[in-house]
Amino acid sequence: MTQVADELRDIIKGTIDGLIGFVDTEVVPLEQHYREILSNERRLFGDDGRLVPEIREARDGVRRKSAKAGYWAAFGPESIGGGGLPAPVSVYLLEAVYRKYGAGRLMIGFSNGFLTSPLLGGFVDGPSHMFANANETIKADIVPSLLAGEKTTCFGATEPDAGSDLWNLKTKARKVGDEWVINGTKQWITNSPYADYAVVFAVTDEEKYAKRNMFDSGITTFIVDTKLPGVDTNTIFPIMGHVSSDCGNVIMEDVKVKDDYILGNIGQGLMTAMAGISEGRLAIAGAMLGLAEWALDKSLAYAKERKTFGRALADHQAIQWMLADSAIEIFNMKYATLRTAELVHQYPTTGRLPIKEISIAKAYAVEACQAICDRAIQIHGAMGLSSEMGLEEAFRIARTLRIPDGTGEMQRRTIAGQLLRGDTVF
């Protein structure tokens, strides 16, 4: 472990052991109980694309129990009642969970984790660091239910014409009396079919927005109750290899929100958005690290067991090179991600936000994980293509995560931009 991680060794081990125990005690029995539904997506989703009621209640129950056990809000800021666990702990925790469970068990994974996704809250659904700047009204009216796992959020930034480019937002909010009236469409929004609140980013000052100043962007962050008149979250998108997903639209027509439900400062919402996205990028890197290790573990076991031409697969040089390449990539993934987590942890002291490192960790981790899962499928041959092994699902998870929270191309754009600004320290 690195120096920062050494200081947190007991916290890391205790949290990992506790969460693994929680999954085995609370989640595994539910998976076994609902095995028939979970193993057939035609039974898992209703005609409207949403989870069937019993699975939705099971998932909500896991989230509430996780909150009570201290995991759901473990990484939320202490200032709002979260656990305040630092970034290095989150990386080790995600690595451990994904290495143990991978994609081979029933609903484990980002793209299809309907029973395990409620374990740890993040910026797309729970009490994240975005709420550190919440006013007293939001802290009193909304934050407690998020901390308890009773309610969830979704992150409303992406639009039909504004994915990676947040300088092309069409969603606008104008002040009318003592309320803001919001109009616009958010698209590909994780958790939108189930969220109680949408964290919505809307242009409130077009002159400032046109100047493209990240720190004074003219974008404001609103907390929008998804049950308000004019809010529509009925559209759900099928995602790669699945009949539905937890991604959809948040459409707003003349939705009225009071000043009290502005998150942070008026006109400075882009900084709030980047705080959430950066948190998500590091979380993805940690999860992909664990998933890659899981895939390599399976490959090693199979290569030792399977025989071809009278020899174990592991004796063939071609297989050995695949295993070695995966190990090289995992080593690089692990220490890039942990180094980035250390820099995030040190940010309050150093004042240096590791923008390029966060992008490096996210881009490298998802691309390397996809390559490692692809090799694992190849090593397993036809068995690698079967849903029984879980490797094809792991491959799809990694491929899917090359898009959200900034594509690999956008990460490289960010990295290059930082380098050209003089940020050349590694």
The pLDDT tens digits of the residues spanning 253-262 come to 999 999 999 9
- Determine what percent of the chain is predicted with pLDDT higher than 70: 95
pLDDT value at residue 29? 87
Instruction: Say what the pLDDT of residue 28 is.
Output: 83
**Would you say residue 276 has pLDDT above 80?**
yes
- Residue 105: the pLDDT is 46
**CATH code for 153-271?**
2.40.110.10
pLDDT recorded at residue 72 = 95
pLDDT above 90: percentage of residues in the chain: 73
Residues 6+ apart with CB under 8 A from 256: 176, 179, 180, 181, 182, 228, 229, 230
Question: Would you kindly state where each structural domain of the chain is located, as residue ranges?
Answer: 153-271
Task: Check pLDDT > 80 for residue 111.
Answer: no
Task: Please compute the mean of the pLDDT values over residues 292-296 and round it to a whole number.
Answer: 97
- Mean pLDDT, rounded, for 350-366: 95
- Residue 387: pLDDT band (50, 70, 90) is confident
Whether the predicted pLDDT of 80 surpasses 60 = yes
Mean pLDDT of 84-92: 91
pLDDT one-digit tens code per residue, 25-39: 998 888 888 888 888
Instruction: Say yes or no to pLDDT of 109 above 50.
Output: no
Average pLDDT over every residue of 65-94: 93
Least confident of 25-39, 43-57, 182-196, 264-278: 25-39
| The pLDDT value given to residue 3 | 54
Give the angle subtended at the CA of 290 by the CAs of 286 and 296, to the nearest 5°: 145
Tell me what the mean pLDDT of segment 242-253 comes to: 94
Average pLDDT over residues 390-402: 92
Helix axes 355-380, 391-400, angle to 10 degrees: 150
C-alpha 223/C-alpha 141 separation (Å) is 11
Residue 116 has pLDDT above 70, yes or no: no
> Against a cut of 0.75, is the pTM above it?
yes
Say whether pLDDT at 395 is over 80: yes
Rounded to whole angstroms, how far apart are CA atoms 75 and 95? Answer: 15
Alpha-carbon distance of 125 to 59, in angstroms, equals 13
Lowest mean pLDDT of 3-17, 110-124, 332-346, 405-419, name the range. Answer: 110-124
Q: Is the pLDDT of residue 110 over 50?
A: no
Instruction: Give me the mean pLDDT over the 121-133 stretch.
Output: 91
